[in-house]
Amino acid sequence: MQSMKTQQLCFLNKEWSEFKTDEGFNASYAQLVLAFGASELISNSSVYTYLQSKYKGANIVLSSTSGEIIGESVHDHSVVVTAVQFEKTSIHAITVNVKDFENSYLVGEYLAKVLNDKAKELAAIFVVSDGTKINGSELVSGLNTLKAKQVPVTGGLAGDAARFTQTFAIGVYGKHINVGHGSFGGWDEFGRERVITKSHKNILYEIDNSNALDLYKEYLGPYVDELPGSALLFPLSIKVNNSDKNLVRTILSINEENKSMVFAGNLPEGSKLRLMKANFEKLIQASSVAAEFTQQVNHSGNTNQLAILISCVGRKLILQERTFEEVEAAKKVLGDHTSITGFYSYGEISPFNLNVNCELHNQTMTITTFSEV
């Protein structure tokens, strides 16, 4: 019998139903409950009250989404719940309000320090944060103050943050837990490589000493009249400090007055930049690649018992009715035995494959797996 056990529920069409329950699961012993749902549902106090009564001793983590993942299905206007019962692993969950901190870096630094100081044998941190009021790149920089500890940090930014101002962080402790992580995009780069010559954090002003927005519009052609929505089809690929790893950045808004663009992540001056475009088959295949990366990181050979899939809302808007295919692609790698949950986000947090330093990603499928020896 497996040591770590899960139970999964789904609230859909105003009804709760049981999706999957592992043999031997006992709700009284669940330590962690992850609930991902549409903002109008997840913010309803009745959802929290129901979960609190069902899993009395558990830490309950809520996140609003732009789409919910359970098993191989993708839902809208639902709540998907995964309760986790560990046998040999302990957790500690903390909540902070981003408004209580001067900047996003301090939020990440605080979370990393509290979880590191809480107990020995910190094995991983999983973060679910506000998606609009926080600067995801700065949050990640603060979390990376733990890099000397070789602790992987994964998670995502809430997919619909209209009512979501909190940041949750879960510390996972013990030598019996194995954590895998993988992230991949599957976009095609095109056009020549350029240089960011003027920016401030996540605001881009100039590329190759020319106005960034005007240059970007030249690439869009017939899609220019559909800005900023059409920008989801053409994210940017950047290389920071001549790294061999590419980060993807999605445009959140544009400013016609000063010809700038606001992105869901920082774009440091001097970074190399290329435009990207969607390739449907590669986007779906990227989920398989991300799942395979989790297996490479988790060297134990142990069967994954839980996988949390966090994909970008931009991918969902592009794939539309084919969205479920990227979840199916991941499940084929992870296997039917793995409990799968997750959500569509405004940003994904994960190390670059085997690298421990976490990064903020956009337009990727990011997967975190847990298994208990």
Q: How far apart are CA 137 and CA 134, in angstroms?
A: 9
How is the beta sheet containing 177-184 ordered, strand by strand? 73-75, 68-70, 339-345, 306-312, 365-372, 177-184
The residue with tokens 């009250």 is: 49
Say what the pLDDT of residue 226 is.
87
| Residue that is written with structure tokens 């009564």 in the block | 53
The token pair at 64 is: 């609003």
Q: Is the Cβ–Cβ distance between 315 and 347 less than 8 Å?
A: no
Q: Which of 96, 135, 36 is nearest to 340 (CA)?
A: 36
Q: What is the largest CA-CA distance in the chain?
A: 63
Query: Would you say 348 and 367 are in contact if contact means Cβ atoms under 8 Å apart?
Result: no
In degrees and rounded to multiples of 5, residue 68 shows phi and psi of -115, 140
Task: Give the C-alpha separation, 216 to 207, whole Å.
Answer: 9
Which SS3 state, helix, strand or coil, does residue 219 take? helix
Helices and strands, counts by H and E, the chain: 8, 25
Q: How far apart are CA 246 and CA 352, in angstroms?
A: 9
pLDDT by residue, tens only, the chain of 373 residues: 468 999 999 999 999 999 999 999 999 999 999 999 998 999 899 999 999 999 999 999 999 999 999 999 999 999 999 999 999 999 999 999 888 999 999 999 999 999 999 888 999 999 999 877 788 899 999 999 886 568 899 999 987 644 456 789 999 999 999 999 999 999 999 889 999 999 999 999 999 999 999 989 988 888 888 887 788 788 999 998 888 778 899 888 899 999 999 988 899 999 999 999 888 999 999 999 999 999 886 655 557 799 999 999 889 988 999 999 999 999 999 999 999 999 999 899 999 766 668 999 989 999 999 999 8
Report d(CA 128, CA 94) in Å as an integer. 11
Return the pLDDT at 305.
92
Query: Residue with structure tokens 């609230």?
Result: 11
| Contact between 183 and 349 (Cβ < 8 Å) | no
Q: Classify burial at 305, counting beta carbons within 10 Å of its beta carbon; exposed 0-12, middle 13-18, buried 19 or more.
A: buried
Query: Residue 325, Cβ neighbours under 10 Å: how many?
Result: 18
What is the C-alpha to C-alpha distance for residues 196 and 273, in angstroms, rounded to an integer?
7
Give CA separation, 160 vs 40, 105, 128, 132, in Å.
10, 21, 12, 8
Give me the pLDDT at residue 162, please: 45
Question: Do residues 351 and 181 touch, judged by C-beta distance below 8 A?
Answer: yes
State the angle between helix axes of 323-334 and 280-297 in degrees (0 to 180), rounded to the nearest 10: 30
* pLDDT for position 265: 87
- Identify the DSSP state of 335: -
Are residues 4 and 16 in contact, defined by beta-carbon separation less than 8 angstroms?
Answer: no
Neighbouring C-beta atoms of residue 3, cutoff 10 Å: 17
Q: CA 193, CA 186: separation in Å to the nearest integer?
A: 18
Predicted structure pTM score: 0.91
Using DSSP, state whether 207 is helix, strand or coil.
strand
